[in-house]
């Protein structure tokens, strides 16, 4: 499935929650996320614009494969999420296949849903709150982008506030380098 997203940094989470509640959004997740990122020694995964991530989304272990398709104003990716039975066994299997873990991130997340859009209020240690606004689509990216633009206005921001950053770039923006290799 195609994922189109961006982040708005340094938000007031209470204000965002109020606006989402007023608009009728539903909170569908609140909890911790642990994400580990993998690549081969020759960096084959990242050099092809891909991402391989194993994470605990609350209590659910997920393996994610992403192919970044574009980053002009929005981060656009083809994303496949696979629920795996056991986090540790999947980690061990990735290591046995020759992948190494090059980064590990922990955060608190609230996911709100409204009209096909996910609003994810994220908090990493030592980084201000931000909101990731995301649409998933199998159809036209143009329709999803229109929904995302409307979502930005709903929260009281402008598209110039939206940044097509990934988690590592957010950390780097605040002077924290996570990635190894």
**Domain-by-domain residue ranges, the chain?**
2-173
pTM: 0.92
Reported as a single tens digit per residue, the pLDDT across 110-127 is 999 999 999 999 999 999
Reported as a single tens digit per residue, the pLDDT across 146-178 is 999 999 999 999 999 999 999 999 999 999 988
The SS3 call for residue 87 is helix
Rounded Cα distance, 123 and 4, in Å: 21
Select the CATH number that applies to the domain covering 2-173 from these four: 2.40.320.10, 1.10.357.10, 1.10.8.50, 3.40.50.720: 2.40.320.10
- Calculate the dihedral angle through the C-alpha atoms of 103, 54, 5, 169, rounding to the nearest 10 degrees: 0
């Amino acid at each position: 499935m195609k994922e189109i997203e961006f982040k708005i940094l340094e938000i007031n989470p209470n204000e965002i929650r109020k606006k989402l509640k007023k608009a009728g959004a539903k909170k569908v997740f609140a909890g911790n996320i642990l994400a580990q990122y993998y690549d081969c020694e020759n960096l084959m995964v990242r050099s092809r614009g891909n991402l391989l991530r194993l994470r605990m989304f609350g209590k659910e272990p997920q393996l994610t494969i992403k192919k970044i398709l574009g980053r002009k104003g929005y981060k656009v990716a083809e994303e496949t999420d696979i629920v795996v039975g056991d986090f540790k066994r999947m980690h061990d299997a990735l290591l046995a296949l020759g992948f190494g873990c090059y980064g590990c991130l922990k955060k608190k997340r609230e996911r709100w849903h409204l009209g096909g859009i996910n609003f994810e209020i994220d908090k990493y240690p030592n980084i201000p709150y931000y909101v990731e606004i995301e649409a998933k689509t199998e159809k036209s990216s143009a329709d999803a982008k229109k929904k995302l633009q409307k979502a930005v206005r709903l929260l009281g921001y402008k598209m110039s506030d939206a940044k097509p950053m990934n988690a590592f770039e957010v950390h780097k923006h605040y002077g924290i380098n996570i990635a190894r290799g």
